[in-house]
Each structure stands twice: as C-alpha cells, then as structure tokens.
Amino acid sequence: MFMKKHDLVYLTEDASHDAAIDLINEEAFGPGRFARAAARIREQGPHDLSLSFVCADDGETIASVRMTPVLAGSIKGHLLGPLAVRPSHKNRGIGRELVRIAVEAARRKGSQCVILVGDPPYYQPLGFEKVAYGALTFPGPVDFNRVLVVPMTEDVHAGLKGDIHWRA
C-alpha cells in the first residue's frame, strides 16, 4: 500500500516558486487583486526574496507570503503580502507560521516595522497594531481600519505619517 507522507516545509522563496505563487494568489484573491492599494505599492518595485517564504507539502507549493521594502512616512519597513494558503490547507496554522517567519526575518535584517493591509482579527493576535487612522497615504484607496503594523524600533508610530511607497 502506498501512503502519502504529510511533510510540510517552510522555504525561502526563489524564482522556481513563481508560477505556483501566481496560481495561489489568483485562487485566493481573484482578478481584482491588482487594484488593491497594497498591490499598487508592490508594482512599484520587486519584493525581497530573502524575506519571502513558501510552504510546501510533499514538494508542492501550497502557501506563500511576500515582503516588499517600503518607506512609510519616515520609517524604513517592509510591506507584508500577499499572504495566501490554498483552500485544501487552511486552518492548520500555516498562514500564522508564514507571518511569524517573515516578521522575524525582517527583524533580523534590521527592518523598522512590518506593515500590511489586512483583517485585524487575524493579525492582531500575531503582534500587529492599528496604525493611526489616515496617517499614511497609499497610492490608491485603502480602508484605514485595516492598516496594521508590527513596530520593531522605538517611535515607529510617530514616524508613520505621510506617503508609503516602495524603496530600494
């Protein structure tokens, strides 16, 4: 009898994951995904592969998180997203683990914060706090109740004021 071994591994993203990640994001967010405010920032420049991660199950890529370097007001941080887990693998803690790994990697790299646009009930237990309403200006409409941050140095909240955009 052949039994499929259940074997989840977390890997740093590389170019070989591109096609699978595109499919995962298309499945999770649909065709409207490029219109979202965070996507408008991501199209300004490349994400940071060294801070982006996938989860593979028995060699198949089933979840992804990407991180993009941003200047948010005066703060040099990283924008987290998209985060997506294939429906077949939801509710096993994979999303939470990808967020944890990405945030810790950014912290090790000296990032001042990790910022995202997402659901507060999901991200607040993972260390995210609300950014002051309207403090950051995105390159497109955004729901300010969903702009969240993990501050990783002093005075991050005070510095999160002004435009947010991609940085080199």
Q: Which residues form the interface with ligand COA (CB under 6 A)?
A: 28, 83-85, 90-96, 118-119, 121-122
Burial of 121 (0-12, 13-18, 19+ CB in 10 A): exposed
From CA 79, how far away is CA 166, in angstroms rounded?
Answer: 9
Take residue 109 and report the two structure tokens written for it: 């790299």
> Rounded to the nearest whole angstrom, what is the least distance from the CB of residue 108 to ligand COA in the complex?
22
In the complex with ligand COA, which residue's Cβ is closer, 8 or 153?
Answer: 8
In the complex with ligand COA, which residue's Cβ is closer, 92 or 161?
Answer: 92
> Rounded to the nearest whole angstrom, what is the least distance from the CB of residue 52 to ligand COA in the complex?
15
> Rounded to the nearest whole angstrom, what is the least distance from the CB of residue 85 to ligand COA in the complex?
4
From CA 105, how far away is CA 109, in angstroms rounded?
Answer: 6
Take residue 164 and report the two structure tokens written for it: 């947010």
